[in-house]
């Protein structure tokens, strides 16, 4: 419990919320779906997320299903707490800014070499937009996703 701003950025209460935001924005902005909800769950003492849930509300684009989009996320994102902290630059001193006026929906920027609101920068996943489900399965099989996810 407690307030969001009071959480250490290395704790999954906070860091997982940030990476879920980035994953959902990446799926939508890359044209994989028009809406996305991404949820993660963790166990104490286990770095890899125990579950990943992706809801696209039937707005998938092209031939990909919500399950295929989940696979794309497993290929492209590492949601272990240390990896999240690194990819979103969460260990940089910046939390005065995030504590006021909301953590989400802000424009990302860099000031004096420090990245602010990095989770608002979507990753480009558009290469998956034209893939078939079989091609996504092949990409998943050829990836290192098992080092990052419990499966």
Strands (E) across the chain are located at 37-41, 51-55, 109-111, 114-116
pLDDT on residue 92: 73
Give the predicted TM-score (pTM) of the model.
0.88
Can you tell me the distance from the alpha carbon of 65 to that of 57, in angstroms, rounded to the nearest whole number?
A: 11
Q: What is the per-residue pLDDT across 61-120, written as a single tens digit (0 to 9) for each?
A: 999 999 999 999 999 999 999 899 888 888 776 666 766 666 776 777 688 887 877 888
Q: What is the per-residue pLDDT across 35-69, written as a single tens digit (0 to 9) for each?
A: 999 999 999 989 899 999 999 999 999 999 999 99
String of b and e for 133-147 (b: at least 16 CB within 10 Å)?
eeebeebbeeeebee
């Amino acid at each position: 419990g407690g307030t969001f701003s009071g959480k250490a950025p290395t704790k999954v209460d906070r860091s997982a919320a940030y990476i879920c935001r980035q994953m959902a924005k990446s799926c939508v902005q890359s044209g994989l779906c028009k809406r996305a909800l991404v949820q993660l769950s963790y166990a104490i003492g286990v770095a890899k997320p125990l579950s990943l849930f992706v809801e696209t509300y039937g707005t998938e684009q092209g031939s990909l299903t919500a399950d295929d989009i989940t696979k794309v996320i497993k290929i492209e994102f590492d949601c272990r707490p240390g990896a999240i902290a690194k990819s979103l630059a969460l260990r940089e001193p910046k939390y005065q800014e995030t504590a006021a006026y909301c953590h989400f929906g802000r424009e990302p920027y860099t000031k004096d070499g420090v990245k602010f609101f990095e989770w608002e920068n979507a990753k480009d996943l558009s290469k998956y937009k034209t893939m078939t489900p079989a091609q996504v399965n092949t990409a998943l099989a050829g990836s290192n996703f098992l080092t990052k996810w419990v499966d």
